[in-house]
């Protein structure tokens, strides 16, 4: 399958350029067969030790050119170290231009990677493990041609 060759090259390229000390957490979960079922809710556990630091949080999405929509509705469930719900948010993210169909993000072959901010300049209230769970909230189930979903938590660099 040509996806596997492209995917291997993409992972190699990402590993060569992703050595960034501002990244506190970065992970993704592959979607089996590129079919994202509503019941499939990838969950990410982020350990925060520095509550004085300000962070930016991003969605990491990978889709193919065959993805049938220009957007994606995601539900984000965000809980704190005490297991209390911080937020449960439905968000619309854009993967391509609605008019032209030109994909956003970075592409290699027919795969496109998106890094979309969802919390900017965020300060965690207490140290511990935070859990972010993502689910697709589109009308189509399963949602085709979504290859992986994830998150990245990055320190905001101080302005010099």
Where does the pLDDT of residue 100 fall: very low under 50, low under 70, confident under 90, or very high at 90 and above?
Answer: very high
CATH code, domain carrying 16: 2.60.120
Average pLDDT (123-137) is 97
> Do 115 and 20 touch, CB atoms closer than 8 A?
no
Confidence at 3, pLDDT banded by 50, 70, 90? low
In a domain, 160, yes or no: no
Q: Would 37 be classed as within a structural domain?
A: yes
Instruction: Flag whether pLDDT at 46 surpasses 70.
Output: yes
pLDDT at 14: 53
With a CB cutoff of 8 Å and minimum separation 6, the contacts of 70 are 94, 95, 96, 97, 98, 101
Q: 104: which DSSP letter?
A: -
Model pLDDT, residue 82: 97
Residue 116 in any domain: the answer is yes
Q: Which domain holds residue 58?
A: 2-155
The percent of residues in the chain predicted with pLDDT above 90, rounded, is 83
Does 40 map to a domain? Answer: yes
- Give the number of domains in the chain: 1
Q: Which residues pair with 125 in a beta bridge?
A: none
Element (H, E) at 24: strand 23-30
Can you tell me the distance from the alpha carbon of 34 to that of 40, in angstroms, rounded to the nearest whole number? Answer: 12
How many Å is the Cα radius of gyration of the chain? 16
Query: Does residue 32 lie within any of the structural domains?
Result: yes
For residue 127, what pLDDT band results from cuts at 50, 70 and 90? very high
* Burial group, residue 124, by CB count within 10 angstroms (0-12, 13-18, 19+): buried
Would you list the DSSP string of 71-103? EEEEEEEEE-TTS-EEEEEEEEEESB-TTT--B
Token readout for 79 is: 């809980």
In a domain, 54, yes or no: yes
Percent of the chain at pLDDT > 70 equals 87
| Model pTM score | 0.85
């Amino acid at each position: 399958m040509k996806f596997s060759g492209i995917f291997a090259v993409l992972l190699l390229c990402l590993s060569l350029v992703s050595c960034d000390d501002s990244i506190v957490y970065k992970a993704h979960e592959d979607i089996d067969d590129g079919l994202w079922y509503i019941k499939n809710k990838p969950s990410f556990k982020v350990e925060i030790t520095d509550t004085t630091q300000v962070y930016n949080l991003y969605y990491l999405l990978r889709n193919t050119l065959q993805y049938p929509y220009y957007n994606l509705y995601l539900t984000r469930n965000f809980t704190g170290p005490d297991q209390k719900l911080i937020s449960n948010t439905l968000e619309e993210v854009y993967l391509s231009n609605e008019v032209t169909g030109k994909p956003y993000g970075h592409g290699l072959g027919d795969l496109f990677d998106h890094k979309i901010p969802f919390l900017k300049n965020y300060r965690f209230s207490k140290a511990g493990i935070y859990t972010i769970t993502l689910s697709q909230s589109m009308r189509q189930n399963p949602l085709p041609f979504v290859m992986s979903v994830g998150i990245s938590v990055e320190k905001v660099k101080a302005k010099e």
